Amino acid sequence: MEILRIENVTKTYGEKDTAVHALDRVSFSVEEGEFVAVTGPSGSGKSTLLHILGGVDKPDSGTVQVKGTVEENILLPLLLDGKKPNPKRLAQILSILGLEDRKEHLPSQLSGGQQQRVSVGRALITHPAVILADEPTGNLDQKNTKEIMDLFCKLNRTYKQTIVMITHDMKLAAQCDRVLAIVDGR
């Protein structure tokens, strides 16, 4: 089943001489349960794409649909506002993330990989239709990168979590179901 569809999405920053066409008529769809990598050189439009998929930014033209309702499914910060987490769900997430024994720890007492897992947990608590991850391993060493990637693979394979992830790392991209390559916003 298709869970995410974007059609003819265009985004331009600036005007006239200084105009940057960050996205130029981008169209694709993602199936429920798919793990998709977005790759491309710096400045090619990856982050702009993810911001638009997440509803954080608006396209100049084109459409984004997540199971019909963008907000309910992936506007995580809004959903988190004023909603009480379900304790059972919280315990389940801590267990999936392997952080049961770390739940009282301060961020400074956690490794980079553990901190990154907490941010994944923040996303999971809302049962998101899609996790959008912008370079989730960008500032991590090899060991922590593997931990995060293994976690994403487990979420995807075991819990059928749909994920769209930006990465520069072709080895990580190769582990995904599909790779979307973006160059000059296309």
**Chain residues that interact with ligand ADP, rule: CB under 6 A:** 13-14, 20, 22, 40, 42-48
Closest to 35 (Cα-Cα) out of 165, 124, 122: 165
Least distance to ligand ADP from the beta carbon of 40, Å? 5
How far is the C-alpha of 69 from the C-alpha of 130, rounded, in Å?
12
Least distance to ligand ADP from the beta carbon of 96, Å? 28
Least distance to ligand ADP from the beta carbon of 99, Å? 29
Helix spans in the chain (H): 46-53, 70-74, 76-80, 87-97, 112-124, 142-159, 170-174
Least distance to ligand ADP from the beta carbon of 1, Å? 28
Of 149 and 182, the one with the shorter C-beta distance to ligand ADP is 182
What burial letters (b/e) apply to 48-62, b meaning 16+ CB within 10 Å?
Answer: bbbbbbbbeeebeeb
Of 45 and 128, the one with the shorter C-beta distance to ligand ADP is 45
Of 44 and 144, the one with the shorter C-beta distance to ligand ADP is 44
CB 106 within 8 A of CB 99: no
Of 44 and 73, the one with the shorter C-beta distance to ligand ADP is 44
